[in-house]
Structure 1
Amino acid sequence: MPGELLLEHYEPVMAVGRNESRYQEHLQTNCGGPRRLRAELGSEELNHVRIAYFNYLVTPDNPVGGSHLFLLRDLAARHQVTVFAVAFESPDHRIEWVKVPAPRRPLFLLFLVYQVMATLLFWLYCCRKRARFDVVHAVEGNVLFADVQSAHFCHTVYLRRHWNWRENLSLLGVCRWLDHWLHSLVETKAYRRARLVVVPSPGIAEEIRTLVKGVEGKLVVVPNPFDTNGLMRPAGWDRRLEREKLGLGSNEQVFCFVALGHFVRKGLPELLKALRGLDGENVRLLVVGGQRWAVRQLRQWAKREGVTDRVLFTGHVRDPRAFYWMSDAFVFPSKYEAFSKVCFEAAGAGLPVITTKVHGVRDAFEDGVSAIFVEPHAASILQGLKRFLAMTSEERSALAERGQAAVRQFTVERLLEEWRAVHLWLERSLGSMMAGAGAGRWRCQLVDRR
């Protein structure tokens, strides 16, 4: 079964302390015979195949697209890859880009237009160039005919368990709800049709397993990667000088929060409320991310809480590493994440992490050992901040070192190894399906694979 293929790849180090038994239970639930299947695959190499990849934004500053750039570069070294995307920064000149015309905002309109235009362009491409794609890879049901679906969010579960209209009574909130709702309409169908559903954490796998009947044998866990070496502060980097450029004093305690958007879900309003409770402390908050129109709203939130002079908004940045390096701790009280890549990046950069028990984080970190866990409300966040401020410098360093050790396994090399196994299994599976009498889905029958 496909689910046997990669779940064993997680090392026990991912589960720290008391989380280990929960994680091992997850492995036993999903892995019937992983050693047998991996032994069967052995060192077999994937044949030259043609791959179509579908995603909105495949750029370094996009959490999903940025992770998949490593994958696409690796695939392009041996295979023919065509990317159907609204924006694409190619890591390899051999990758072909079919630009999909679609508005980037609002997100629900991007979803609708991309679904139609990407599907149309795919079939036009196949007809005009007589292309024969062996594998179609999509993200979160962006097209419904993919062999591989990468699921980095479960929209149905999020709307049922976490959506709060009181926090989203605005035009932006309505637009966000429409985007989640539209995704929820197609994700079950997309995952049911796919040959494999690849997820970044055991938690999101559990949600999809509960939501989609018959998907158990398709689920594969491949964690998001990051460049662990590139996250280390370079020798000679002047932390004091860089802080002074932003008006941050050397004696101030600087907390860092990083997000591209979705600031309500990621807990920024509650963090600003908690910051108000640190009036007697010499504390500043760096909020990294957000387009100009979003930053205007964030400033209003800070003004409402009376902490304007203690918060610095940087706006959107393509590379947040400098802000990690100049900060004392990373704070991310999100309500829902599939993996929370920024927490792993912050830990990899050597920062103590204060966060909630979202997917991915709760599997890799342990409270008080490699991170500080809080609940996604102001009182708990305030308690977590005070807990950190009360630590000695030695205790903070130890917390950061253990957090850094917990994320060292999430390397680019590991991602590539696991994705190679995914595509190898898929090639063999589709080859057997096409060879069988009467086998094949409608897409496989329409696209000749000779």
Structure 2
Amino acid sequence: MEIHLNEMIMRLKEDYNVTVVASSLNVTNPEGIKFIKIPVIKRPVPLRLILFSIFASLRLLFVKRDILHTTGAIVFNRADFSTVHYCHHGYLKAGGTRADSGVSRFRKWNSDIASFIARTMERIVYHPNRTAKLLAVSNRVREEILADFPYAPEQVGYLPNGVDIDKFTVYESEAKKVLRQQYGVPEDGDILLFMGGDWPRKGLNLVIEAFNKVADQFPELYLLVVGKGEREPYYKMVQPEHQDRVRFTGKQSEPQLWFGMSDIFVFPSSYETFSLVVHEAAAAGMVIISTKVGGVEDLITHHVNGFILERNSDEIASALREILSAPERYRLYGERARARVKQLTWENMHRILIGHYDEHHNGLKEKALT
């Protein structure tokens, strides 16, 4: 979401006078942007959500504007657009819950209350009389909106996240070896990459189970886990004889390098609205194994430019055997995935957004004339 906002704001400011109303401004270049800071406490999260909604709504009453574009259900003012990155009602209906293991009672209450507030705000804000048009980041989110809120199909647009295809690009074999040597990763062999946080939801346990099932057959297969999480319980899941072939790197500031040095990307998440990390892996030309979650189903076609599987380790292991037994054949999947994701540049997403603005502006003119 933060990446999306930065990329859109940086482009919009070239043609519009942009005012950002937020608790902080994190953009590449703030020059030319008017920033109105809404000071709120960071914790507890439920109180922060309530205070921001109230203070930002009041402040917006005094902001002159032609278009009010929000990110999510965050203010009570009438808005022209809201980009929906995450539908809390949709997540709940899909069976999404927070893993309770190791979570204190206070943190669980905190999460439950924050979720309730977010759903209440959605009920208030996501109505055509309050927000004229919603822009969903994936077809999955669009379907959730249409199922839960009183919008006609033409009132819910599509504005996916973009990908920087120059930053996330294909590394040829020699460049891969240099990267691997630089980061202490085996130069030869095949690298299976898992990247992300919230490991229970994103299925790291399933990745490790699948790795255990194929590790004996493919002794030159290695697993990299990039992202923040509780390492120890997952490391213990790796069979002892294969633990030297699994590396937990922690969160990395330059993910494109880890995509560049790897070969296969695996992502058995239970729920996503738009999986940017899968799109970045596609831009890097990797062979992708994923579940059918938001954004991925718009990008990957099974056995055409990747693998779409059920969420279990047996299917992941089967796909790995297939790929590793004929790597040259399946390298084509990565090339096709990159070709597909090239259509999702930030420049193209900016053009789509401007198209929504122009359509809205023309609609207002026609309404005024009638």
1:412 matches 2:350: no
- What letter matches 1:170 in structure 2? G
Quick check: 1:220 aligned with 2:153? no
1:305 shift after superposition: 4.3
Is 1:278 matched with 2:214? yes
**Could you tell me how far apart the structure 1 residues matched to 2:69 and 2:180 are?**
43
Residue by residue over 1:150-187, the C-alpha shift from the partner in whole angstroms, topping out at 9 and shown as x without a partner, is 1112221222223256x433327825554444322222
| TM superposition shift of 1:286 | 1.6
- Aligned pair in 2 of structure 1 residues 176, 242: CA closer, same or farther (>3 Å)? farther
Assess if the C-alpha contact under 8 Å between 1:156 and 1:184 holds in 2: yes
SS in 1 for 2:280: helix
> How many Å apart are 1:396 and its aligned residue?
2.5
Paired letter, 2:213 = G
SS at match of 1:325: helix
The structure whose RCO (Cα within 8 Å, separation 6+) is larger is 1
Give the 3-state SS of the residue equivalent to 2:358 in structure 1: helix
The answer to whether residue 71 in structure 2 is matched with residue 139 in structure 1 is: yes
Q: Quick check: 270-279 or 344-353, which moved more? A: 270-279
Query: What is the deviation of 1:340?
Result: 1.3
Aligned mates of 1:139, 1:83 — CA distance in 2: 11
1:318 aligns with: 253
Give secondary structure in 1 for the equivalent of 2:214. Answer: coil
Q: Distance in 2 between matches of 1:87 and 1:285?
A: 37
How far did residue 430 of structure 1 move?
A: 4.9
Question: Conserved in 2, the CA contact under 8 Å of 1:140 and 1:151?
Answer: yes
Work out whether 1:72 is the aligned partner of 2:4. no
For residue 94 of structure 1, the aligned residue among 32, 48, 53 is: 32
Kept in 2, the 8 Å contact 1:343–1:361? The answer is: yes
Contact 1:82–1:97 at 8 Å: present in 2 too? Answer: yes
The whole-number CA distance in structure 2 between the counterparts of 1:287 and 1:358 is 20
CA contact (8 A) 1:353 1:372 kept: yes
1:47-446 to 2 correspondences below 5 Å = 64-92=1-29, 93-102=31-40, 109-110=44-45, 112-117=47-52, 119-121=54-56, 123-124=58-59, 126-127=61-62, 131-145=63-77, 146-164=79-97, 167-171=99-103, 174=108, 175-192=110-127, 193-233=130-170, 238-259=175-196, 261-280=197-216, 281=218, 282-290=220-228, 295=229, 297-306=230-239, 308-392=243-327, 394-430=328-364, 435=368
Task: Answer with 181-190 or 67-76: which moved more.
Answer: 181-190
Q: Secondary structure at the match of 1:369?
A: coil
How much does 1:77 deviate?
1.4
* CA displacement at 1:386 relative to structure 2: 2.1
Residue 444 of structure 1 corresponds to: none
Corresponding pairs, count:
359
- Give the drift of 1:283: 2.3
Shift of 1:149: 1.3
1:115 deviation in Å? 4.0
Unpaired runs of 5+ residues, structure 1, are 1-63, 438-450
Q: Is the 8 A contact 1:156 1:180 kept in 2?
A: no
User: 1:74-130, CA deviations, whole angstroms, 9 ceiling, x for partnerless residues?
Assistant: 22112221222334223340112233334556xxx4454144235414534654xxx
Q: Which amino acid aligns with 1:323?
A: W
CA RMSD of aligned residues (A): 2.7
Q: Report if aligned partners of 1:153, 1:204 keep a CA contact under 8 Å in 2.
A: yes
Aligned partners of 1:229, 1:369: CA distance in 2, in Å?
Answer: 24
TM-score by length of 2: 0.87
1:410 is displaced (CA, Å) by 0.7
Distance, in Å, in 2 between the alignment partners of 1:308 and 1:97 is 50
User: Could you say if the C-alpha distance between residues 248 and 83 of structure 1 is closer, same or farther in structure 2, counting changes exceeding 3 Å?
Assistant: same
Q: 2 CA distance for matches of 1:181 and 1:123? A: 22
- The CA distance in 1 between the partners of 2:247 and 2:280, in whole Å, is 21
For 1:156, the aligned partner's letter is: H
Specify the SS of the correspondent of 1:270: helix
